[in-house]
Amino acid sequence: MEYISRYFQLDNKQSTYKKEVIAGITTFLAMAYITVVNPAMLSQTGMDFGAVFFATCVAAAFGSIVMGVMGNYPIALAPGMGQNAFFTYGVVLGMGHTWQVALGAVFISGILFIILSVLPVREWLINAIPRNLKLGISTGIGLFLGIIALTNAKVVVDSPATLVQLGDLTSFEPFMCLIGFAIIATLVQKKIIGAVIIGMLLTTLVGWLTGYAEFKGIVSLPPSPAPVFLSLDLAGAFDVTMITVIITLLIVDVFDTAGTLVGVATRADMVNKDGSLPRLGKALLADSGATTFGAVMGTSSTTSFIESATGVEAGGRTGLTAIICGVLFLLCLFFSPLAQSVPSYASAAALLFVACLMTKSAADIDWHDYSESAPAIITAISMPLGYSIADGIGLGFITYALIKVFSFRLRECPLVVYVAALIFTGKFIFL
């Protein structure tokens, strides 16, 4: 026990085993919704729900434990929201690729992330993308998740005249989605631990009692991972049409991770005096390794979760918090029947709330400089309206570069943005 205490620097961090355990449980409860939402989303591509549930839990456990041991950060990992939406609605349902090819693209993006994590250019790359474009990407993903949630619950339906319109809000599914969303938001406002999962379970219970949802049980042996395990199609992922897909997966994963590391580390008072992050390379390596591992298991990109901040608020300061959370994800494997009993309107309520959290980034955009704010907003609104995260990022890069050029402020635009803008321009013209 003394070795563990020294390794994780409990005394230096002014923490205790009790604090770390409580923080780990708190983080898990804040993230547990992903074990339902992720397989529900990916199963729309034809992937087996139970197998993806297995992959989600194992990838989350692996990533969280490796982050805890290697990076000593109180940050847990799981298949990311936004990445799973891009995987499902962008790559498979949107572009028509098979889910096996999409898994191959996730794996390749993870390998590229690993390479960047061990190279000295990692800090340069993280800082290269303009801050306002990063904020626009986060906001856009939030809006994209929002429209997915609303359409899945039939709160919003298609219209031949206006493209979209409100559905029948008096019918059960949209009504319960909005009720579930209100419950989750209220519980979060009151700082109730596990607010998202509680809201999902309460609205699910109503569905069981009224016959609108089927109760399939609570506990069983873990489902077989075989339908998705080692099913990635690497040959298909190397097709030229997948270049922008891989770039998008890499960009979103890198900057999601960087943003979470900075945000959570700052709240945990872990940032060095010069503003740098300790053990950044190890933390990035843990995150990128989790993405490649998750692709092999059969799920979309695994990334650091901002919900880890709830564990920090509960006192977590070391990697033990992440390890405890990872162990709980492994225990979750035995609750597959319960996960499959959660109806789509309940998971949509959780997804809608996550969308609200992500769109908060818009508040930090520099609204006084239109050369910064305009591309950020183009990025944000084109994602849901174009139903593509990749295309939204592409339009953001292109408009950012063009505005800087037309404004004779070429040096304000990083080289990486010009390169990405050219790549996406080629994609829009030729692919």
pLDDT of residue 400: 96
Cβ contacts of 151-158, under 8 Å, gap ≥ 24: 152/344, 152/345, 152/347, 152/348, 152/351, 153/177, 153/344, 153/345, 153/348, 153/349, 153/352, 155/348
Burial class from Cβ neighbours inside 10 Å (0-12, 13-18, 19+) for residue 327 reads: middle
The predicted structure's pLDDT at residue 183:
96
- pLDDT tens-place string over residues 105-115: 999 999 999 99
Q: Residue 274: what pLDDT?
A: 62
Q: Where are the beta strands (DSSP E) in 269-411?
A: 302-304
CA dihedral 182, 188, 194, 197 (to 10 degrees): 20
**Closest by Cα among 387, 398, 383 to 428:** 398
Q: What is the pLDDT of residue 380?
A: 92
What's the confidence (pLDDT) of residue 10? 80
Structure tokens at 225: 């991972």
Residue 359 and residue 142 in contact, taking contact as beta carbons nearer than 8 Å: yes
Q: Which residues of the chain have pLDDT under 70?
A: 1, 122-123, 125-127, 274-276, 431
What is the pLDDT, as a whole number, of residue 98? 96
CB 218 within 8 A of CB 337: yes
* Contact present, 308 and 323 (Cβ < 8 Å): no
At 14 the pLDDT is: 80
DSSP per-residue codes, 191-236: T-TTHHHHHHHHHHHHHHHHTSS----S--SPPP-TTTTT---HHH
Report which residue type is found at 188.
V
- Helix (H) / strand (E) element for 79: namely strand 77-79
What pLDDT is attached to residue 431? 65
Q: According to the model, what pLDDT value does residue 126 have?
A: 66
The per-residue pLDDT for 276 is 66
Q: What is the pLDDT of residue 365?
A: 92
Q: How far apart are CA 147 and CA 351, in angstroms?
A: 10
Give the per-residue pLDDT at 58.
Answer: 97
What was the pLDDT predicted at 180?
95
**Residue 216's pLDDT is what?**
92
Rounded to 10 degrees, the C-alpha dihedral 323/328/333/335 comes to -170
